[in-house]
Amino acid sequence: MGEGQPHPRRKEPDLLGCPKPYLDRIIFRFITDPGARAAALETGEVDIGPNPVAFADLERFNALPQFVVDSTVFTYSGPLHQLIINLENPILKEKKVRQAIAHAIDLDAVNAIVFYGYGQVSPTPISVVNKKYFDPDVKAATVDTALSEKLLDEAGFKRGADGIRFKLRLTNNPYNPWGYADFLKQALAKIGIDAEIEKFDFGTYVKTIYTDRTWDLSTESCGNIFDPSAGAQRLYWSKNIKKGLPFSNGAHYENPEVDRLLEAASVELDEAKRKQLFFKFQEIIADELPIINLIAPPTIIIARKTVKNYAPGAEGLSANFADAYLDPNA
């Protein structure tokens, strides 16, 4: 960008615009290593980025006077991470097994360890950031390994001589922190489940989960987007069981009542009635646990203080930067 060159749509002569040559710097490039992204910010190679550095590095960036660390949660995305469960596995088809897994996971500890406390525990299929439809009465399963052991015994999966009840394949959407898989492996080991972590690149991950279906547990990132009918429904609606369709009903969960509730909510115009439909949906999922909902991850933006008006709307950095500008005096 040439200094002082205005954007063609701008009339303010005192603002620095964002013609295309400069967008390469203002939009964070796909640098895969968080350490390299941090270096790019500090050297001025780039000016702004979404979730650009490791969570352990955020405190340091908070202390740097040239940067803003913005933790605004933008409602358009409705961020949510889940542990999806492959219900085609006969072991995981047993409800008591899924309940045992849920009681073994300490979501507060997940948030503290994986996200350094920057996320929010979000135990229902509608993200806690969606204040209109999130049901606060639906709580995460209590952490109770003794109860988990009891449930697994009742389901017929007693510990063997080696202390192991059964083995599962555990993977992770590589978009998510790998700390999830490490945490879950240790949590499941305490109740006698041997979870073998399998790591894939993104393309292989999508094929493994949604086409080949050669997995058992996976931490997924499927936000609610701007409305549960657009974001949550796809994960639980039986008509969305489609081989090869990514980020859909990966659990292969089927429940006619859930289908009815979701379909009714998608066309209901009365907000009070729509809210009750979604509340009932959340209650059923919290009981049946085809997916164990985990954390609403933080959306951290780090920007140089010279970058202004970078996220004026609900889309955050998914917007078009039409109103962004540089203030060299900031």
Q: Tens digit of pLDDT for each residue in 242-292? A: 999 999 999 999 999 999 999 999 999 999 999 999 999 999 999 999 999
Backbone angles phi, psi at 184, to 5 degrees: -65, -40
Domain coordinates in residue numbering, the chain: 20-70+299-326, 81-296
Of 274, 281, 222, 230, whose CA–CA distance to 250 is shortest?
Answer: 222
Tell me what pLDDT residue 296 has: 94
Question: What is the H or E stretch that residue 68 is in?
Answer: strand 67-70
Tell me what pLDDT residue 13 has: 33
**Residues of the chain falling short of pLDDT 50:** 1-24, 27
Among the CATH numbers 3.40.190.10, 3.40.50.2300, 3.90.1150.10, 3.90.1150.220, which is that of 20-70+299-326? 3.40.190.10
CATH topology for 81-296?
Dipeptide-binding Protein; domain 3 (3.10.105)
Task: Give CA–CA dist 80/140, Å, rounded.
Answer: 14
* Topology agreement, domain 20-70+299-326 and domain 81-296: no
Residue 30: strand pairing partners: none
Tell me what pLDDT residue 12 has: 38
DSSP per residue over 105-164, as a string?
Answer: --HHHHHHHHSTT-SEE--SSS-TT-TTT--TT--PPP--HHHHHHHHHHTT----TTS-
**Reported pTM:** 0.84
- For the chain, the maximum distance between any two Cα atoms, rounded to a whole number of angstroms, is 77
Tell me what pLDDT residue 28 has: 52
